[in-house]
Amino acid sequence: MNIRTLSLIILGIALVLVPFVLKGYLVFQATTIVIYAIAIMGLNILTGLNGQIALGHGAFFAMGAYLMAITLNVWELPFYVGFPIAGVACFVFGFLFGFPALRLEGVYLALATFTLAVAVPPVLKLSFLEPVTGGVMGTLVPAPTTPFGLPLGQDQWMYLLTLLFLFLMYGMAQALKSSRSGRAMMAIRDNPIAARAMGINVALYKTLAFGLSALYAGIAGCLSALVIQFISADSFTFFLSVYLIVGLVVGGAAWFPGALIGGAYIVLVPNLVETFSPPLAGSFYGLLLMVMMLIIPKGASGLIEKFFPRRPSASDTSRPAPREDGGDGPVTIGRPGR
Amino acid sequence: MELFVKYFLSGLATGGIYACVALSVVMIYKAIGHVNFAQGEMATLSTYFAFQGIVWGAPLWLAFLGSLVLSFVGGYLLERLIFRRISGAALMTHVVMFIGLFLLINSSMGLIWDFSVKSFPSPFGQGQIGGLIGYHQVGMLAVTAGALLALSIFYQKTRIGLAMRGIAANPESAKLVGIRVTHLTALGWGISSALGAIAGILIAPIVFLDPFMMLGVIVPSFAGAVLGGLTSPLGAVIGGLTIGIIESLIGAYVPRVGIELKLPIAMAIIVCVLVVKPSGLLGARILKRV
Amino acid sequence: MGQDLIIDDMHVSYGDSHILQGISMVLHEGEVVTLLGPNGAGKTTTLRGLSGLTKATGKVTYGKLDLLNMKPEAILRSGISLVPEGRGTFASLSTEENLQLGGISRKADHALEDDMKRMYRYFPVLEERKKQQAGMLSGGEQQMLAVARALMSRPKLLLLDEPSFGLAPRIIEQLFDILKSIRETEGISMLIVEQNAALVMQFADRAYVLEAGQIVLSGTAKEMQNNEAILKSYLGS
């Protein structure tokens, strides 16, 4: 057993002990951190492993939360049914949404997902959806009671449930990373053209990564609905999506355990800063993102390279290669991949 | 028929705003190959500049002019001092940078002017022409048309405009013929930012001013830019106007939910264009990144 | 020494690869010099370094100027103009606008308009095509446009990167005829990178041979044409 595995096991044990050491509101906060960490881990797969960037994962988070609420309130099914429903739905929706944008330059995916993030609250507030979404007022979500008569408080039980999902989904992410599919995703990240030449179905793996990351966000959304016991459109503004990106950048794009750091950052820092003034937190986040991009020479992609060294590849993208064909036909604006 | 004309005109007026913002997005996209996600927030900030001028007792026109100048200088400096440093960096770096700028501007506006909704005066006054269109909307149309025309003359007829088109067409050759690419790129940011200011000031009397004012404008504007092809200034204008008109007519003719559907429609248009014809109406062929 | 170009120990590296490993060359005012060598020897890199597009180290002087510390626009203003590899057409703009851009570093006056007319006299086909999108011109026309565009800045030294690349023999001949007459009437110095050595040797005064980032041979065009080894390697006979 090497040091890495050992420290992960110690971290895991420490995480399990949290609700027995901390009390009340702190347990709730720890739960929120873990929930964000799950969503951020989805982005780790998308951005870290596959090199895509998406700005709208708050939408999938919202979708998961609402599907959990609908499972409980409308269909009156037990809460554990909500997870597979939301997971599958988010995966499928993510897969379908990503498909058109993935054929194009990354900037189009960023654009499409940006509008997705902005459009979430207005869609949730649509009056004809009110019977299922609760419209502007939002809707209450009954919390599941502690099972098997375990001697756990409600908040301790919710924390442990959330943590269970974190462990499961961390395992899934790790398994993905070392699988054939994971290697295909990384090959695409490093050099899409070479990946295609090697016979990798680029579009399939890119949409797969997108769908998977949507699934992670959806599960996080489910948990958040259960923990907060209330959802409304205004809990899922554009800023939720942005905070997930903040967490991703802070935790490191391609390092799964970093998701916990990212989650802790977006939950705890506002608490510290907002004691002075609420909007200060946003300014601080914004400034932090910009400063990080300026001082890490290659920005977020530099982080990826730090944790997953690039395979040596023929195309050094740091400089524009002198053209060899000599012809330059009708213009193409929008620069080729760098 | 009267209803149609009324909503068509009103859609055209709003479309003019979308056209301005779409154009400012396209200008930056052509210059650096990235979409400025903070474009809307920059425009809102410009509107707050004008608002502050009015609070300090400046005449309307002076406040507006001051905001334009500040926005121009601000856009110029933003490129020279910050975005210059990441030029050529990966898409991800740019996106995160723009999102950071978005947050920074949005929260700072809340910090300085608080988040309450503020009314913003129209320079064109209240009133309607023949029950069809308000003075303010006529003013909006006139100003956006004037701004777009002036910009097109600038690009087509002046040497600086020619140089800027040269940079967009072939950045390296632009250097070779002695164009100061760095200076002109920043100039493009300045113009783009001033254009956003015009849009913000014109839309504020209708939607009222708060830090989130442009969130409802930026998505339709992106839709306009994508519809037009993302690389074509003319396309951005046509796209913006089209989105404005579609949105207004659906609001008028689809009972009950028409107005609520604004953003979802804009989003649907973006997705449809990407599926059906990614290069939009007038865009250059898109380089496929596999 | 006037406006001589003196390259002394110029180096260029991209990342780990050392493309130019200390080359030294001289180009006297009024001379036409050609730089020969196989693909990948560093010919294009040399021209890019001289015009400020690529960072180079060492010492390069042009008259009294130290070129390696100058930006591309300053180098252009000092009288050096590059006709780049692949022609560098402003493809979405018209032929006329391409020429206007060529002169954009100069004052807008009558001399500029006269120069446009002069270019149309050298290259009548460009006048016929002046309103057309430059990207739609044929390869030969685009090459002529590239030369004319470079001349619009009134250079004293013209750098040409493989002007014959991808052109039909008849067009190449026509192009070099025009280059000859430009040299005669305007007294411009030229540094020409070519693959088509046989052709350029009839035109050049002297030649250098670059191999793997180093100058391996130099001499007058006559000497070179009589050298067996060169004939084999570069003149294809």
CB C192 within 8 A of CB C35: yes
Chain C partners within 8 Å of B284 (Cβ): 92
Q: How many domains does chain A have?
A: 1
User: Residue B91 and residue A47: Cβ atoms within 8 Å?
Assistant: no
Q: What phi, psi does B12 have (nearest 5°)?
A: -65, -40
pLDDT number for residue C79? 93
CB C204 within 8 A of CB C210: no
At B288, is the pLDDT very low, low, confident or very high (cuts 50, 70, 90)?
very low
Which residue among B159, B173, B180 places its CB closest to the CB of C84?
Answer: B173
Chain C partners within 8 Å of B234 (Cβ): none
Nearest to B180 by CA among C65, C88, C72, C97: C72
How many angstroms separate the CA of residue C94 from the nearest CA in chain B? 11
Side chain identity, residue A249: V
Q: What mean pLDDT do residues C157-171 have?
A: 92
* C window 90-109, beta carbon within 8 A of B: 90-93, 97, 100-102, 104-105, 108
Residue A33, in any domain of the structure: yes
Which residues contact residue B283 at a Cβ distance below 8 angstroms, ignoring those fewer than 6 apart? Answer: B228, B229, B230, B231, B232, B235
Residue A8 token pair: 């992960």
Q: What mean pLDDT do residues B63-72 have?
A: 97
At B164, is the pLDDT very low, low, confident or very high (cuts 50, 70, 90)?
very high
Nearest to B36 by CA among B44, B26, B46: B26
Q: How far is CA A34 from CA A12, A88, A166, B108, C190, in A?
A: 12, 21, 7, 29, 68
* CA gap C50, B214 in Å, rounded: 48
* CA gap A173, A45 in Å, rounded: 7
CA-based nearest residue in chain B for residue A194: B290
Q: What phi, psi does C62 have (nearest 5°)?
A: -130, 110
Which residue among A316, A323, A333 places its CB closest to the CB of C85?
Answer: A323
Nearest to B111 by CA among A277, A270, A272, A240: A277
Burial readout C180-209 (b: 16 or more C-beta within 10 A, e: otherwise): eebbeeeebbbbbbbbbbebbbebbbbbbb
Residue A66, in any domain of the structure: yes
Nearest to B192 by CA among B72, B100, B103: B72
User: Residue B256 and residue A336: Cβ atoms within 8 Å?
Assistant: no
Burial readout C70-99 (b: 16 or more C-beta within 10 A, e: otherwise): bebbbbbebbbbbbbbbbbbbbbbbbbbbb
Q: For residue range A211-228, list pLDDT tens digits in order.
A: 999 999 999 999 999 888
Q: For residue range B175-198, list pLDDT tens digits in order.
A: 999 999 889 999 999 999 999 999
* CA gap C49, C72 in Å, rounded: 10
* CA gap B224, B244 in Å, rounded: 9
pLDDT number for residue A317? 38
pLDDT number for residue C229? 66
Q: For residue range C53-74, list pLDDT tens digits in order.
A: 999 999 999 988 999 989 999 9
- CA–chain centroid gap for C7, Å, is 16
Residue A130, in any domain of the structure: yes
At C162, is the pLDDT very low, low, confident or very high (cuts 50, 70, 90)?
very high
Burial readout B24-45 (b: 16 or more C-beta within 10 A, e: otherwise): bbbbbbbbbbbbbbbbbbbbbb
Q: For residue range B119-145, list pLDDT tens digits in order.
A: 999 988 888 887 778 899 999 999 999
* CA gap A177, A186 in Å, rounded: 8
Q: Which residues pair with C159 in a beta bridge?
A: C82, C191
Residue A314, in any domain of the structure: no
A197 touches chain B (CB under 8 A): no
* Neighbour tally for A259: CB within 10 Å: 32
Residue B279 token pair: 């290069």
Nearest to A218 by CA among A250, A189, A185, A244: A244
- Helix (H) or strand (E) holding C191, with range, is strand C189-193
At C50, is the pLDDT very low, low, confident or very high (cuts 50, 70, 90)?
very high
* Neighbour tally for A96: CB within 10 Å: 14
* CA gap C22, C57 in Å, rounded: 9
CB A299 within 8 A of CB B91: no
Q: What mean pLDDT do residues B226-255 have?
A: 90
CB C202 within 8 A of CB C224: no
| Mean of pLDDT over chain A | 79
CA quadruple A227, A228, A231, A237: dihedral, nearest 10: -100
Count how many pairs of residues, chain A against chain B, have C-beta atoms within 8 Å: 207
* CA gap A37, A220 in Å, rounded: 8
- Helix (H) or strand (E) holding C208, with range, is strand C206-211
Q: For residue range A272-311, list pLDDT tens digits in order.
A: 766 666 677 788 888 888 888 888 644 444 555 555 544 4
CB B84 within 8 A of CB B188: no
Neighbours of chain C (3+ CB pairs under 8 A): A, B
Q: How far is CA A107 from CA A298, B93, B286, in A?
A: 17, 12, 11
CB B39 within 8 A of CB B25: yes
Q: Which residues pair with C82 in a beta bridge?
A: C159
User: Residue B90 and residue A298: Cβ atoms within 8 Å?
Assistant: yes
pLDDT number for residue B254? 81
* CA gap C45, B213 in Å, rounded: 51
* CA gap B11, B4 in Å, rounded: 10
User: Residue C73 and residue B284: Cβ atoms within 8 Å?
Assistant: no
Which residue among A319, A323, A326 places its CB closest to the CB of C14?
Answer: A319
Q: Domains in chain C, ordered, with CATH?
A: 5-86+155-234 (3.40.50.300)
Q: What mean pLDDT do residues C143-156 have?
A: 94
DSSP, collapsed to helix, strand or coil, labels residue C5 as strand
Q: What phi, psi does B156 have (nearest 5°)?
A: -85, -35
Q: What mean pLDDT do residues B135-162 have?
A: 91
CB A39 within 8 A of CB A251: no
Task: Answer yes or no: is pLDDT of A318 > 50.
Answer: no
Q: Which residues pair with C34 in a beta bridge?
A: C192, C207
DSSP character for C133?
B
Residue A68, in any domain of the structure: yes
CB C89 within 8 A of CB C135: yes
- CA–chain centroid gap for A324, Å, is 41
Q: Which residues pair with C208 in a beta bridge?
A: C35, C218
- Helix (H) or strand (E) holding C57, with range, is strand C57-62
Query: ipTM of this model?
Result: 0.89
pLDDT number for residue A328? 29
* CA gap A287, A290 in Å, rounded: 5
pLDDT number for residue A163? 92
Which residue among B168, B177, B284 places its CB closest to the CB of C149?
Answer: B177
- Helix (H) or strand (E) holding A231, with range, is strand A230-231
Q: What phi, psi does C179 have (nearest 5°)?
A: -60, -40
* CA gap B59, B53 in Å, rounded: 8
Count how many pairs of residues, chain A against chain C, have C-beta atoms within 8 Å: 40
A202 touches chain B (CB under 8 A): yes
Of A49-58, B49-58, C34-43, which has the strongest mean pLDDT? B49-58
DSSP character for B118?
B
- The position carrying tokens 């960072």 is C55
Domain ranges, residue A247: 22-143+152-269
Of A258-267, A323-332, B52-61, B260-269, which has the strongest mean pLDDT? B52-61
CB A113 within 8 A of CB A60: no
| Mean of pLDDT over chain C | 89
Q: Which residues pair with C211 in a beta bridge?
A: C214
* CA gap A60, A215 in Å, rounded: 8
How many angstroms separate the CA of residue C211 from the nearest CA in chain B? 26
B285 touches chain C (CB under 8 A): no
Q: Do the strands A230-231 and A139-140 form a parallel or antiparallel pair, or are they unpaired?
A: antiparallel
Nearest to A214 by CA among A76, A54, A331, A35: A54
DSSP, collapsed to helix, strand or coil, labels residue A139 as strand
* Alpha helices, H only, chain A: 3-21, 25-43, 57-73, 79-102, 106-124, 130-133, 154-177, 180-190, 192-197, 202-228, 238-251, 258-274, 278-295, 299-307
Of B73-77, B107-111, C169-173, which has the strongest mean pLDDT? B73-77
* Alpha helices, H only, B33-90: 39-55, 60-77
Residue A288, in any domain of the structure: no
Q: For residue range A35-79, list pLDDT tens digits in order.
A: 999 999 999 999 888 888 888 899 999 999 999 988 888 888 888
Residue B85 token pair: 């440093």
Chain C partners within 8 Å of A326 (Cβ): 85-87, 139, 162, 165-166
pLDDT number for residue A98? 74
